[in-house]
Amino acid sequence: MRLGHVASGATPTPVKTTTMFIKNKTLAASVLTLGLLAGCGKDYLSLQPRNAVTTETFYKTETDAIQATTAAYSQLSQYGMFNYSLWGIGDIMSDNSNTGGGGASDGIEFQQLDNYSIPTTNPLTSTHWQRAYLGVGQANQVLARVPAIEMSATLKTRCLGEAAFLRALYYFYLVRGFGDVPLVLTPAQTAAEVSNITRTPAAQVYTQIITDLQDAITKLPASYTGDDVGRATKWSATALLAKVYLTQGNMANAATQARAVISGSGKTMWANYADNFKVENENGQESLFEVQFKNGLSNYSQDGPGATINEFWGARFFGSPYVVSSGGYGFNVPEKEFVDGYEPGDLRKRATVWVPGDVYPAGQIQPASLPGDPFGFNVRKFFVGTVNVNNWDSPLNVPVLRLAEMYLILAEAVGPTAEGLEAINKVRRRAFGLPINTPSAKDLAITSAASFKDAVLRERRYELAFEMDRWYDLKRTGTLVSTMKAKGKTGVQEFNNLLPIPQTELNVNPNLTQNPGY
């Protein structure tokens, strides 16, 4: 599935210091007011002129239903989600990486996250809230309006299942990031109806997420063909449900859902870990859900269909020619402790990070240091080289759920039992290039529950590195503050287990309250 968008152009700049101001202007002051209103569902429909249709004229045909459902995916590939904000939150706020970039004045929005000095106006956290609620609003439109459309019953059921999955996914990011958040399940009819909304207890939000995912599981197909590949499946919803239960600490249900995916999805792990991160393998044999990206528009946009990760994470202005299209900005730089922590022989290291002496496809050699990168490390996992000259337009998808994570969820959920040990050891065997189903010298044989949990979390760190997940693991296991203080991040406090509610939202809605500490 490839999403079409009207992409806005932007002037490229080597030093990323202006993004935080530009992006706040592109989104309205309160997305709870705009994104959840009944009349706003057409904004991201595939290459349609803005304001060409209204909700009164649009939700009429099967094509309308499919377009509206496709549009609900679109926020995932934007600035506030996987194309910018989430690697600041999931990676840079963790012990995996630091800001990097060009110095003290570069990437201030990332430095604020990195140093845990986060204002309520930080554009990464603010736009994350905004994008997620735009996605919720689009999913709500589908769930409210598609049932009345005369169309194929099979397609209608699928559209409703996709919308339920997407609403659950957006709320999963919102509740983990911000805690209590407004739970809105139907399109509002007036701005006043939304502008006075209050925060809903996190437990109630999780209950709705689980309800939506259980609903999606009953409605979604197991797989797709042709242009529909990449849409959410029954197994996408089951895998996300396993992760939701894990996050809640409901280990019995997490294990049940992970087992269901492992045994029923037909998915298998690639023998080679690096195969997960190749364009030719997108939506492949290990994938359960990915954010879809497509290149070819030759633009400098974080809101288009192309991924900016290849450019922003690339070695900063290095190589002749540059190793990536516009020179690379060198953000999201792996921490030395993280890189040094790979076990000898772990093949994930070469697939995940560039280290000094590595040779690029065009022959450039990774240097011993770069601006903002004193140890010469860069993320390799989403590197695709020069895609189109002078743009940020990578086609490489970002995985959200993979089968390997289901094995790790199962392992954490059941502990150091025979089942749990076999689950984590399958992941470890693949990491060392060994047959996945054959016992090996790299297998763990831990009997202590506490030691086994630590081993699983360590395995998650290296298996899922730079897939924008680490901060959430530290949060849910209660180890964020101690881990980051040990890394020298003395500014981190217990209240940093939640992000600040955006000041723009507080300004327009007096019924919203700020998280403690901000």
| Whole-structure pTM value | 0.92
Averages of pLDDT over runs of 10 residues in the chain (518 residues) are 35 30 33 50 36 74 97 96 97 98 93 97 98 97 97 98 98 98 92 86 98 98 97 98 98 98 98 98 98 87 90 96 94 98 98 98 97 96 88 93 99 98 98 98 97 98 98 98 95 97 95 97
What's the rounded Cα separation, in Å, for the pair 106 and 96?
Answer: 20
Give residue 57's pLDDT.
Answer: 81
Instruction: Collect all residues with Cβ–Cβ distance below 8 Å to 19 and sequence separation of at least 6.
Output: 84, 109, 123, 302
Domain-wise residue ranges, the chain: 17-200
Give residue 259's pLDDT.
Answer: 98
What's the rounded Cα separation, in Å, for the pair 148 and 143?
Answer: 10
Give residue 28's pLDDT.
Answer: 36
CATH architecture for the domain at 17-200:
Alpha Horseshoe (1.25)
Q: Where are the beta strands (DSSP E) in 180-307?
A: 287-291
Give residue 438's pLDDT.
Answer: 98
Give residue 268's pLDDT.
Answer: 98
**CA R_g for the chain:** 22
DSSP assignment string, 458-481? HHHHHHSTTSS-HHHHHHHTT-HH
Give residue 197's pLDDT.
Answer: 93
Q: Which of 479, 475, 461, 484 is nearest to 341 (CA)?
A: 461
Cis peptide before 321 (omega within 30 of 0): yes
